[in-house]
Structure 1
């Protein structure tokens, strides 16, 4: 038996629509990518237009059907993998009442201070709210970027807009609503609000937490499983998407849940590292764990039998995009060779990123002493500081841009090592780690990670599509093709292994403590430089759109 399905990978900078055939394996038939805007504001805001997500979903669906020649009537279901912890406020018709606030948005600092940082405190948080949150949900809204503080920011600053709110949705849940007119959230999205009760036999949104945090319970939608069929495509949505009305719609999950599924890391102790626009280290655990000091929590996954012990890096591949735009284009020849790279069909470079990686491959481990910190938009784990920023440390008169670019890849890997160390204080990880995301496309990045971590690294087929693969798995389980999420491992074998280079390990072991010291040494300076800037513009709405990327998966 084989079926055709469509999985939507809804990222920070664009949507990738993948058409898969599911039989005894998951085979990618065709895909299409469409970008949309990310609005970055001077007051810490980061917003997107939900209707741009839908428009991108519609145009990419039409393109994959036209390109593949697969009839729309043969599509057995659609599902989603999406960025998480956005705030999408909609009216009773499912239309957004304002632009969505991205997971990157950090405007809710005052709301967080009033909501959980007053009174007697532990680790800076109100002790009674902290302990009660942990008891109910196994986590706490301890980051200014958590969606509760976005919700409260809208309530406090845009009361007229807030009065129009019917439901609070996340990114994929908005798209599900557009497709089938259902206001639902999968369990992992619901947990990401940090208002979800994880206690046995009490699973669901907590009225107590809502009251404690000042959230209107009526704004929260119905909860479902990631593998549930939540509806069918309406006639209106079918006309816009180019699909058949009545096609099953499955809820899917967030990227933090389904990328691990697509990586094949679904059993206890298995760890995957994601290197896309953002990055993370995630280990599958049987019981919830929480490390407030290092900002690591156990989040509900697509498989309800397990949790993902999850440490997030705000900007990973985004740092490489920054490097491409601001360093590479004017020195290592990409700008001059750009026309040739794109127009020569025999050219070995699939993208500007491939050419950039090729240009730095001879730089030695340690980048001749240059260290980069990948905190271009603040950081969450193992320290929470939205004022933290990136830096190049220890530049000398002989330093060139190739060393600087190489140090960016190393800096991302140093930070991932820091997170892995923090994870291993609480849980046991298996020796081999799966690396996925666009960063896994570059063998150089894979080898640097293996050397920095001193761990064997595995990659899979099409690592930039693992979120969509995870979404396809939810359809396969929902249709009864697979018994459960864990049985999907047989579909996702290792494609390539990277063994640590012993000579490089000693260099990275020497430089890693220096990397970690850079935050502590500069935290006060970050606060002086960046809080002051934020304060001057806190009442303004000045914004800019991030430049569109020429991504082939690294973002």
Structure 2
């Protein structure tokens, strides 16, 4: 018997067939997605193309394995977070999906950024109310769901008036499968319109009213391990599955990765190193550091939050330097990264790479900051550039880690690492020394989100509890810090911070 788990990003869908008796992946497939950027600040996906990609990937995995539809006991999804799609009462998408990259709604909701007195650009009294009740507040860049809701109401009032429910990416696909409009606790948390002071989350009418929205347009909140509904006859025929197959609520990609990293114990930390990167630990109480843009979302584990420090650019910086140098990057080029980095002695490298290629969230909420290679000379070669990029990524993680560790309030013995960037030994080694903490690469490094979603499915179907994650996800390789190198990186890290402080006003002048 099997679970089908979908890991839905902005560029592709990874679909896995998970064996619920052997706790292993039997088969996996990838289907490409298209991201549309019709004008500056817009980043959309077609809801119909997304559904068709789900159908294609499902049919493909069934056909390639000859699994019978009745052998699929459940479906579960983890998806890109903070996407928004309004649907009408008959389920019609009223716009394209506004993805997490979409920034057209910067400065919304206006209510939050107007009035007196102000602090950091926010209405002080409304800010305090949001922080007290929801534990967070939308950023100024317009990437949060609430900003998108408000933009639609103010800029596209005809769409708003026709909107029955605002759904996220997963919520839309769940509706197509079940005709049920639901949102998982983590995604509801991310709207900043719910009361999260206790894990029993609910929409807060006073916050909804304060920003001029209508409570009835928000979907029912459910826990990731609950059953959202069952496959309708129409959806089952399209997917090639059995009518009545259970659809588990699922969660966002961060939430699934937190499970699929194997770091499920309280305060146990993992790093995800992909296009973006983050630090996450499950914690029993809600925590917040607004100054450094760190806070909590509700977890897939009942009565637990996730403490999160997210950064915009992770190993995407390595992709950038490789594409800049080589143009089209093939698999063998990626394999050269560690080889090139090993040619450089840490004490001899004087270049400092600033990895802010797409602005930054934590520990600075700065949309204007940008990247750069500082202190290059004619004697530098490609290996110095590659090494510096890897080192700069690690310094940026350390910058967040300093405040994250303080907010966590616990000593950190080790950090599990997953994501495509974790495949670089050089990056794991430099991270261990920069953070002065043991880094453990897990065997789920490539499929941590999909594996996490599968584990959520196992719990939802009452086949297991979350402790199964420790049996499925295991250490692959450890990287221990070396005191001499840790001290060396501490000194260079000081220059990294100093550069930001010296340049931040210039970034704003150029990019503001």
Taking structure 2 as the reference length, what is the TM-score of the superposition?
0.94
- Is contact 1:123-1:293 (8 Å) kept? no
Distance across 2 between alignment mates of 1:422 and 1:325: 33
Q: CA 1:138/1:114 → structure 2, altered by over 3 Å: closer, same or farther?
A: closer
- Is contact 1:270-1:429 (8 Å) kept? no
Taking the TM superposition and a 5 Å limit, the aligned residue runs for 1:532-551 are none
Cα deviation for residue 176 of structure 1 reads 1.1
* Deviation sequence 1:249-297 (CA, Å, 0-9, x none): 1011111211010111111110001011211011221111111100111
Q: CA 1:510/1:268 → structure 2, altered by over 3 Å: closer, same or farther?
A: same
Distance across 2 between alignment mates of 1:235 and 1:325: 46
The equivalent position to 2:431 in structure 1, one of 449, 468, 483, is 449
Q: Secondary structure at the match of 2:446?
A: helix
Task: Report what 1:528 is aligned to.
Answer: 509
Taking the TM superposition and a 5 Å limit, the aligned residue runs for 1:129-528 are 129-144=126-141, 145-200=143-198, 203-329=201-327, 352-365=333-346, 368-427=349-408, 428-482=410-464, 484-528=465-509
* Deviation sequence 1:41-99 (CA, Å, 0-9, x none): 65322222233322222212222222223222211111011111112222223332112
The equivalent position to 2:69 in structure 1, one of 63, 68, 72, is 72
Distance across 1 between alignment mates of 2:425 and 2:216: 49
* Deviation sequence 1:308-336 (CA, Å, 0-9, x none): 11011112132222223222338xxx6xx
Aligned length: 510
- Is contact 1:116-1:129 (8 Å) kept? no
Distance across 1 between alignment mates of 2:109 and 2:387: 37
- Is contact 2:112-2:122 (8 Å) kept? no
Distance across 1 between alignment mates of 2:359 and 2:109: 17
Distance across 2 between alignment mates of 1:120 and 1:366: 49
- Is contact 1:232-1:245 (8 Å) kept? yes
Distance across 1 between alignment mates of 2:263 and 2:87: 34
The equivalent position to 1:30 in structure 2, one of 18, 27, 30, is 27
Distance across 2 between alignment mates of 1:501 and 1:222: 50
* Deviation sequence 1:20-51 (CA, Å, 0-9, x none): 1123x521111111221223465322222233
Q: CA 1:242/1:319 → structure 2, altered by over 3 Å: closer, same or farther?
A: farther
Q: Which segment drifts farther, 419-428 or 111-120?
A: 111-120
Cα deviation for residue 236 of structure 1 reads 1.9
Q: Secondary structure at the match of 2:388?
A: helix
Q: CA 1:305/1:278 → structure 2, altered by over 3 Å: closer, same or farther?
A: same
Distance across 2 between alignment mates of 1:198 and 1:511: 40
- Is contact 1:106-1:386 (8 Å) kept? no
Cα deviation for residue 187 of structure 1 reads 0.8
Q: Secondary structure at the match of 1:280?
A: strand
Q: Secondary structure at the match of 1:511?
A: helix
Q: CA 1:412/1:491 → structure 2, altered by over 3 Å: closer, same or farther?
A: same
Distance across 2 between alignment mates of 1:302 and 1:202: 12
- Is contact 1:367-1:406 (8 Å) kept? no
Task: Report what 1:101 is aligned to.
Answer: 98
* Deviation sequence 1:489-508 (CA, Å, 0-9, x none): 33322222111234432331
Q: CA 1:277/1:51 → structure 2, altered by over 3 Å: closer, same or farther?
A: farther
1:88 maps to 2:70: no
Distance across 1 between alignment mates of 2:180 and 2:370: 40
* Deviation sequence 1:103-124 (CA, Å, 0-9, x none): 2222223325542353112344
Task: Report what 1:542 is aligned to.
Answer: none
Q: Secondary structure at the match of 2:132?
A: helix
1:110 maps to 2:110: no
Distance across 2 between alignment mates of 1:53 and 1:282: 28
Q: Which has the higher contact order (CA 8 A, sep 6+)?
A: 1
- Is contact 1:289-1:426 (8 Å) kept? yes
Distance across 2 between alignment mates of 1:6 and 1:91: 28
Q: CA 1:67/1:357 → structure 2, altered by over 3 Å: closer, same or farther?
A: farther
- Is contact 2:75-2:246 (8 Å) kept? yes
Distance across 2 between alignment mates of 1:487 and 1:168: 34
Cα deviation for residue 301 of structure 1 reads 0.7
Q: Which segment drifts farther, 195-204 or 76-85?
A: 195-204
1:9 maps to 2:7: yes
Q: Can you give the 5+ residue segments of structure 2 that lack an aligned partner in the other structure?
A: none
- Is contact 2:444-2:451 (8 Å) kept? no
Cα deviation for residue 366 of structure 1 reads 6.5
Q: CA 1:42/1:390 → structure 2, altered by over 3 Å: closer, same or farther?
A: farther
Taking structure 1 as the reference length, what is the TM-score of the superposition?
0.87
